[in-house]
Structure 1
Amino acid sequence: MDATGSEGYGWVRALAYRLWTAISRALFAEFLATGLYVFFVVGSAMRWPSALPSVLQIAITCNLATATAVQVTWKASGAHANPAVTLAFLVGSHISLPRAVAYVAAQLAGATVGAALLYGVMPGDIRETLGVNVVRNSVSIGQAVAVELVLTLQMVLCVFASTDSRQILGSPAILIGASVALGHLIGIYFTGCSMNPARSFGPAVVIGKFTVHWVFWVGPLTGAILASLIYNFVLFPDTKTLAQRLAILTGTTEVETVVGGEPQKESQSSSPDIEMESGCEMA
């Protein structure tokens, strides 16, 4: 192989290494963020006989856990930590389908590990239900789905608004955390408040309880889709063409620019085929 061929091959290898490093870092970030979120949020809902959790206590914990996870993993992955948020960004043409699938897999794995860790450190008489989301006796299945839909819709709208470079005014971590806390202040009375399929999935896997588990997927995912359509196509439409959206969806166009190993994303308005920098929900 001549010198030119060696240089070309070396450049390809270097690029492949950088891309693999960025992708693996992003997946680990989603795993870590979701695991930490589930550990603290579910942990705050544990019913200790001497100190039963209050709604305000759980909401504050959700706020702080969300803000922390977003701040820690923002640069590495966009800090989705929630399959509903990932789906919303997929619908809005901000990430590719392969990346979305990988993110969700990492999130579910992280949620399961976080729940298992919590189960392992909790006393036997406290961990029995492990904070699994359930529909209250006085709430119908339809009402539960509707509540999860609305709560997730407001949260995802906040995620888009607080991470859109065209209108960022404050800290996304703080704003997204507040939207998650807002949802819990209402949702706890209906379903224990999920807003995040991974949050419901992890504890359910650990204790093997999947009663009406589908509610905590259908409600949040539907709310996320509606929020993405409202934000990206009604409130703040961008200039992506159909061809660009299809290319981003399939991953056949470059949707991220990797600089120094971290994903650097441009404004939607200045570069429509670039992913908008995302932030997390969680809940």
Structure 2
Amino acid sequence: MASEFKKMIFWRAVVAEFFAMSLFIFISIGSALGFQFPVTANKTTTPIQDNVKVSLAFGVAIATMAQSVGHISGAHLNPAVTLGLLLSCQISIFRAVMYIIAQCLGAVVGTAILSGVTSSLEKNSLGLNELAEGINSGQGLGIEIIATLQLVLCVLATTDRRRNDVSGSAPLAIGLSVALGHLLAIDYTGCGINPARSFGSAVVSNNFVDHWIFWVGPLIGGASAALIYDFILAPRTSDVVDRMKVWTSGQVEEYDLDADDSRVEMKPK
């Protein structure tokens, strides 16, 4: 932990998570709120949300941010992804905590700025996640777990250094996974596969009804993805105890994509 704390490159990574998260929130949630503004020229007075548009906006936004800051922080931009990489022994506990704090603060700032831009919108929910009518907390929790599990599984697979068959763009693959999660979950929960994104909306709108679902579900999904990938689908050859040393040292040879600061980049080997 001490070695990371003293490195400027580590703090740049934390700032990158904050900055990229703020942009991601503003762009993605802004696209979801845009459907509520009537377009006079088209005589649109009762617009209907386009789930495909919103899903693609979230997916493309995360892919763009991953491409922009992936070489700096790894572009986790999601506490569930950070937890998955932590349990996969790819980052230290200190880095994980600082990333999650930066992500949550970035989400609050991005949502607050968007709140000012859309202040004229009546009943502005700011993208608040909530259970759809007829969906109970258990069902909503299950949806969030599955949607997040496939996302973190995609992140782990596309950033696995042992693979030499990965072609194309890892950020794009992860972005499509985010879009897929939204296509699945929007109609049930509003899609809360990113706890920080849900936290930002809840804080700014001061509404925490059923908010626990949008932390517990994604974190269970992220943790499950890490355990399934590392111990069932693609078991690691190194000893678990040795791998766990990265939690305190921040470096481990098998996972370290950058010997200087142990970044996990969103790109294939």
Q: Structure 2 length normalisation: TM-score?
A: 0.87
- Listed one character per residue, the Cα deviations across residues 225-260 of structure 1 (whole Å, up to 9, x for unaligned) are 110001111111222323323321123x63489xxx
Structure 2 residue 45 is the aligned partner of structure 1 residue 56: no
Q: Distance in 1 between matches of 2:177 and 2:112?
A: 27
Deviation at 1:39, TM superposition (A): 1.0
Q: Which residue of 2 aligns with 1:122?
A: 118
Structure 2 residue 118 is the aligned partner of structure 1 residue 100: no
- The 1:161/1:246 distance shift into structure 2, 3 A limit, reads closer
Structure 2 residue 205 is the aligned partner of structure 1 residue 212: no
Structure 2 residue 258 is the aligned partner of structure 1 residue 265: yes
- The answer on whether the counterparts of 2:243 and 2:252 sit within 8 Å (CA) in structure 1 is no
Q: Which residue of 1 aligns with 2:171?
A: 173
Structure 2 residue 13 is the aligned partner of structure 1 residue 26: yes
Q: Distance in 1 between matches of 2:253 and 2:76?
A: 16
- The 1:17/1:197 distance shift into structure 2, 3 A limit, reads closer
1:81 aligns to what SS in structure 2? coil
Q: Distance in 2 between matches of 1:144 and 1:157?
A: 20
Letter in 1 for 2:214: F
Letter in 1 for 2:225: A
1:198 aligns to what SS in structure 2? helix
Q: Structure 1 length normalisation: TM-score?
A: 0.83
Q: Distance in 2 between matches of 1:151 and 1:279?
A: 20
What is the correspondence of 1:159-238 to structure 2 with a 5 Å cutoff? Answer: 159-167=155-163, 168-238=166-236
Letter in 2 for 1:236: A
Structure of greater Rg: 1
Root mean square deviation, CA, Å? 2.4
- The answer on whether the counterparts of 1:162 and 1:170 sit within 8 Å (CA) in structure 2 is no
- The answer on whether the counterparts of 1:256 and 1:265 sit within 8 Å (CA) in structure 2 is no
Equivalenced residue count is 253
After superposing the two structures, state which structure 1 stretch, 121-130 or 97-106, moved more.
Answer: 121-130
- The answer on whether the counterparts of 2:74 and 2:263 sit within 8 Å (CA) in structure 1 is no
Q: Which residue of 1 aligns with 2:145?
A: 149
What is the correspondence of 1:65-80 to structure 2 with a 5 Å cutoff? Answer: 65-80=61-76
- Listed one character per residue, the Cα deviations across residues 162-188 of structure 1 (whole Å, up to 9, x for unaligned) are 111222222111100000111111110
Unpaired segments ≥5 residues, structure 2: 40-46
Letter in 2 for 1:28: V
Q: Distance in 1 between matches of 2:4 and 2:244?
A: 26
Deviation at 1:277, TM superposition (A): 2.4
- The answer on whether the counterparts of 2:14 and 2:99 sit within 8 Å (CA) in structure 1 is yes
Q: Percent identity?
A: 42
Deviation at 1:85, TM superposition (A): 0.2
Q: Which residue of 1 aligns with 2:42?
A: none
- The answer on whether the counterparts of 2:130 and 2:190 sit within 8 Å (CA) in structure 1 is yes
- The answer on whether the counterparts of 2:251 and 2:262 sit within 8 Å (CA) in structure 1 is no
Deviation at 1:203, TM superposition (A): 1.1
After superposing the two structures, state which structure 1 stretch, 37-46 or 124-133, moved more.
Answer: 124-133
- The 1:219/1:278 distance shift into structure 2, 3 A limit, reads farther
Q: Which residue of 2 aligns with 1:89?
A: 85
- The 1:18/1:88 distance shift into structure 2, 3 A limit, reads closer
Q: Distance in 2 between matches of 1:18 and 1:101?
A: 12
Deviation at 1:161, TM superposition (A): 1.1
Specify which of 135, 139, 147 is matched with residue 139 of structure 1. 135
- The 1:256/1:48 distance shift into structure 2, 3 A limit, reads farther
2:155 aligns to what SS in structure 1? helix
Letter in 2 for 1:193: C
